[in-house]
Structure 1
Amino acid sequence: MFRHVERRFAPEVSGRGAQSDGAPTRFGLNTREEDGDWRDYMEQLAREAGGPPVKLRTTVTAEHPKTILSFNTSPDIGFDRSVNAYRGCEHGCIYCFARPTHAYHDLSPGLDFETRLFTKPDAARLLRDTFAKPRYRPQPLAMGTNTDPYQPIERNYRITRELLEVCLDARHPVTITTKSDRVCDDIDLLAEMARLRLIAVCVSVTTLDPALSGKLEPRAAAPAKRLAALGKLVDAGVPTHCSVSPIIPAITDQFMEEIITRAGALGVRSAGWIPLRLPHEVAPLFREWLSVHFPERGDKVMSIVQSIRGGRDNDPAFFSRMKPSGVWADLFRARFRIAASRAGMRKERFELDCTQFRPPPNGGQLRLL
């Protein structure tokens, strides 16, 4: 039976993906004392039937880590290092697998994740210093693996652009994953990096329905803008991949074929799909989202999700977490394969060039020429 999760606030939370902080049990977050005027205002709205939609402001805090690269040994992903300019993501995608990372900092994976953001203003300097170390050896550096490098605050902070400038100067290969057409703001850098075989960009398109996108990923670029970005990247000669992800059964899977067709018509020749993942606190937040936006469909959605995840909301195991099983998973694979074949697309592994790498001179300073 579909488990209805009672929302903390009676009105729908306007412009956000999560409808509450959620109720995590890890790291002692559920024992945190809450105060502040905005919390009092939420309580008031919850008591007053018919109150106005809840609107939360985004706050941004600078943090100063000592290192900037994260390394992994996962067998399920095709990179061993990544960099994140921001912590948290204002896009507010309800399905985002990165939400639980906020719990490590005693913040909620729900509304905190998309409203209480952190920037890393020293990121470019730290990256230059890392590249300058004698023992550093280059491999493609992934951006956008945890939070989106082109989320709305990038417009003002431009940390992602600074990181790309460092990578171009050092001739270091990069891959980018984003849901934003803001990636085209850096198309000058991307085109030059493409000429040197140093860049590949993945744009994720979840749905073609702007109204549904506004509920699923409320502050991400509209689907039409993402498709337009794919076309601009292709025209600029940037190796471009379209990811139809995540596939949410009975919610977004109906758009799979048309997304592939439209991307193919724009000249995109690489595509893939990723099934919905619901690790840790994401599962109850997603169930809550279903109870708000699709209460009549919640049972069906979660039944299919569990059928491709061995009877659970999520499968965290290596080798199987990215490869769903069962008849529904087989159906999605067959549909994708047929649509991609018709569009002249495939899942391509872009070969980037690591041989051009040149450590930054003078203690990590950018070159003048």
Structure 2
Amino acid sequence: MDGAPPLPPAIPGRGAPSNQSSRRFSLPVREADGDWLDERQSVDGEPTAPSTTVSLERPRTIIARNSSPDIGFDRSINAYRGCEHGCIYCYARPTHAFLDLSPGLDFETRLTVKPDAAQLLRRELSAPGYRVAPLAMGTNTDGYQPIEREWQITRQLLAILSETGHPLIITTKSDRILRDLDLLAEMASRKLLCVSLSVTTLDAAIARSLEPRAPHPAKRLKAIEALAKAGVPVQVNVSPVIPSITDHEMERILAAAANAGAYRATYIVVRLPHEVAPLFRQWLDAHFPDRAARVMSIIQDIRGGRDNDPNFATRMKGTGVWADLIRARFKRAIRAYDLDTPPVDLDCTQFTPPERNGQMRLF
């Protein structure tokens, strides 16, 4: 179109095509929507083809709380801010604006690590008023992203949760989780752990542009297989389902996951909160210009005429004809592949609070 600004080119090895700043703070209207509340509550402590840089962060707390009615946990933990996987659709991208950084390239290149996470976790679990319930890991940024290889913060947290008998839910899209199979299998044997592996596509070419630094989909399926063989209950999360990009693969992904040993499956339709929507549009224009308009038209149909629906009741699965079709296909497929099993009931009775000096209580 004449007069339109030029489209930013795709950057090899990165998800976001640009690095636009956030302009949404101090907007009272945001207080009422679910995405905004989740973003505020998922950041620990106070709001606060580029190469990847890592900065240290010293938060005052490590367990984040949420009151979202459509999320199956009320507490989570994040060892890192930002995620080098670079998934263009990541709903956590807007949290980087709390650091005065862009939800675009900054989110996947300017990371922060919390070196005191294990000590903070031990302190918070030992607090007199702490009441145990399953803790979620990997719901904001992936605990098994590449920098975990050097920092090993996730493994430190796992060790404390295993030591104290605390139940845990892990979500990841990385086969790096297999490094910790010893701890994971031990916790699973005590009904303290379940794992969710995200598989968005089986197409390597799509994966390279959609989630450029996440492990190959085949590696994730191998991770499901290895976890299942070790006795770890593992589900596949077909997330996000992107109309006209990945939705046609749903049944194939579920079949492959069932064959690998997954016991259950879930899905989420693509969500585009805040700065994610313009980034996703840029990505579509760069990688799928032939169908960009169609993709956004279907997404808007699913999201009530908008790029994103932040309402608690509908934001995960969407509404309308397209959402109903995806839901019907998913339900039919999980029945066919025996993936409609109820979630694992984790045991909360084994928890023993640690002493702050690192010693377990004797009684």
TM-score of the superposed pair, with normalisation by structure 2 = 0.90
- Any conservation in 2 of the 1:89–1:148 contact (CA below 8 Å)? yes
Q: Distance in 2 between the 1:143 and 1:347 partners? A: 22
Corresponding residue for 1:56? Answer: 50
* Alignment-derived partner of residue 204 in structure 1: 198
CA distance in 2, matches of 1:347, 1:290: 35
Deviations 1:288-334 (A, max 9, x none): 00010001100100000000110000001111111311111111111
Cα 1:255–1:366, aligned 2, differ >3 Å: closer, same or farther?
farther
Aligned partner of residue 176 in structure 2, secondary structure: helix
Separation of aligned partners in 1, 2:57 and 2:213: 23
1:16 to 14, 17, 24: 14
User: In the alignment, is the contact (CA less than 8 A) between 1:213 and 1:223 conserved in 2?
Assistant: yes
Task: Say if 2:353 and 2:361, in contact at 8 Å, map to a contact too.
Answer: no
Q: What do the CA deviations read for 1:224-277 (whole angstroms, capped 9, x no partner)?
A: 000000000100100111001100000001110011001111221200110000
Distance 2:327 2:25 in 1: 37
Match for residue 132 of structure 1? 126
Q: Deviation at 1:6? A: 3.9
The residue aligned with 1:272 is 266
| CA positional deviation for 1:348 | 2.6
Question: Does 2:363 align with 1:365?
Answer: no
User: 1:364: Cα distance to partner?
Assistant: 4.3
- Partners of 2:65 and 2:177 in 1: how far apart? 24
SS in 1 for 2:346: coil
Task: Tell me, in whole angstroms, the C-alpha distance in 1 between the residues paired with 2:315 and 2:154.
Answer: 29
Counterpart in the other structure of 2:41: none
**What is the letter of the counterpart of residue 15 of structure 1?**
G
Q: 1:25 corresponds to which residue?
A: 23
Percent identity of paired positions between Structure 1 and Structure 2: 59
Is the 2:352–2:361 Cα contact (8 Å) retained in structure 1? no
Q: Does 1:120 align with 2:120?
A: no
Number of the residue aligned with 1:315: 309
For the 8 Å contact 1:98–1:146, the answer to whether it is kept is yes
Q: Which of 349, 356, 363 pairs up with 2:350? A: 356
Tell me, in whole angstroms, the C-alpha distance in 1 between the residues paired with 2:237 and 2:281: 24
Looking at structure 1, the residues matched to 305 and 205 of structure 2 have their Cα atoms a distance apart, in angstroms, of: 31
For residues 173-252 of structure 1, the aligned pairs below 5 Å read 173-252=167-246
Matched, 1:149 2:147: no
- What is the Cα-based RMSD across aligned positions, in Å? 1.7
Aligned residue pair count: 338
Distance 2:235 2:6 in 1: 39
User: Is this contact kept in 1: 2:272–2:308, CA < 8 A?
Assistant: yes
Question: Is the 1:27–1:104 Cα contact (8 Å) retained in structure 2?
Answer: no
AA at the equivalent of 1:244: V
Match of residue 277, structure 2, among 273, 279, 283: 283
SS of match in other structure, 2:237: strand
Q: Which residue of 2 aligns with 1:68?
A: 62
TM-score scaled by length of structure 1: 0.89
Q: Retained in 2: the 8 A contact 1:166–1:366?
A: no
Please name the residue that 2:34 is paired with.
none
1:296 paired with 2:293, answer no
**Whole-angstrom CA distance in 1 between matches of 2:5 and 2:132:** 46
Q: Alpha carbons of 1:364 and 1:175: their partners in 2 closer, same or farther (altered >3 Å)?
A: farther
Q: Which runs of 4+ in 1 moved over 3 A?
A: 4-8, 366-369
What CA distance in whole angstroms lies between the structure 2 residues aligned with 1:142 and 1:112?
Answer: 25
Residues in 1 aligned to 2:23 and 2:111: alpha-carbon distance in whole angstroms: 22
8 Å CA contact 2:353–2:360 kept in 1: the answer is no
Q: What amino acid does structure 1 have at the position aligned with 2:358? A: Q
Could you say if the C-alpha distance between residues 113 and 347 of structure 1 is closer, same or farther in structure 2, counting changes exceeding 3 Å? farther
Aligned partner of residue 78 in structure 1, secondary structure:
coil
Query: How far off is 1:114 after superposition?
Result: 0.2
Q: Write the letter of the residue equivalent to 1:326.
A: G
Q: Within 1, Cα distance between the matches of 2:260 and 2:142?
A: 23
Question: Aligned with 1:186: secondary structure?
Answer: helix
TM-aligned CA distance change 1:249 to 1:201, over 3 Å: same
Query: Is the aligned partner of 1:335 residue 2:333?
Result: no
Please state whether the residue corresponding to 2:170 is helix, strand or coil: strand
List per-residue Cα deviations over 1:15-67 (Å, max 9, x = no partner): 00001113532249xxxxxxxxxxxxxxxxxxxxxxxxxx3100000111111
Q: CA deviation at 1:344?
A: 1.2
Consecutive unaligned residues in structure 1, runs of 5 or more: 29-54
Aligned to 1:43: none
Change (3 A) 1:229 1:353: same
Task: Give the secondary structure class of the aligned counterpart of 1:26.
Answer: coil
